[in-house]
Structure 1
Amino acid sequence: MALAVLSAVTLLARRADAHTPLCACYDNGDGTILCEGGFSDGATAAGVRLAVLDRSGNVLIEGAMNEQSEFVFAKPSGAFTVLFDGGAGHQVRLSGTDIH
């Protein structure tokens, strides 16, 4: 019985790890930022919420990834953070200072 429970827990842990959120953002050099998202198991990020937050956590820009799992937004003038929000346990935060 204990072996069956351990096997089930191990299988669930592996399954959870197989769906890691991925997000990368790039400065287009024209005043816009492009973010691309997805999941480690190959799942699309189409429709996934993306928010741009100021240093206090206030939402500056909010939207969803398009059919190509991309989101383009105007680069804020101050400090900002990008939040890729694929749901509980599936979030990625990127500091604006790390976007080049």
Structure 2
Amino acid sequence: MNNTSLLKAVLLFSGFSSFHAAAHFPLMSCHLAQDKVICEAGYSDGSTAVDYDVEMYDYDDNLIAKEKTDKRSIAEFTHPETDFYLVFDAGHESPVEVDIVELKEK
């Protein structure tokens, strides 16, 4: 391999590795607060998720409610009478799901 080919290979590899280092995935944490369910959505790189949908489903996969995250990346729901799970789908990677059994009072 000559020096030009080696340089091209190094540049190509460094381009891929910098792209991989910049990749991030969606995160969401939720908790109970009186009669509300509060969820904060964001990304693994620490960036916020403003104006994204967070959806609430019952265990039969029926949509119960849908809220948009606010400027703080928070979506608030009224606590339903049925069991449920929440989904934050940022449109790439895998959607985040949080089940009612994972929620704690805050």
TM-score of the pair, normalised by structure 2:
0.79
Alignment of 1:1-100 (within 5 A): 1-16=8-23, 19-28=24-33, 30-89=34-93, 91-100=95-104
Q: CA-atom RMSD, angstroms?
A: 1.6
How many aligned residue pairs are there? 97
Unpaired runs of 5+ in structure 2?
A: 1-7
Q: What is aligned with 2:5? A: none
Unaligned runs of 5+ in 1: none
Change (3 A) 1:15 1:90: farther
Identity of aligned residues (%): 26
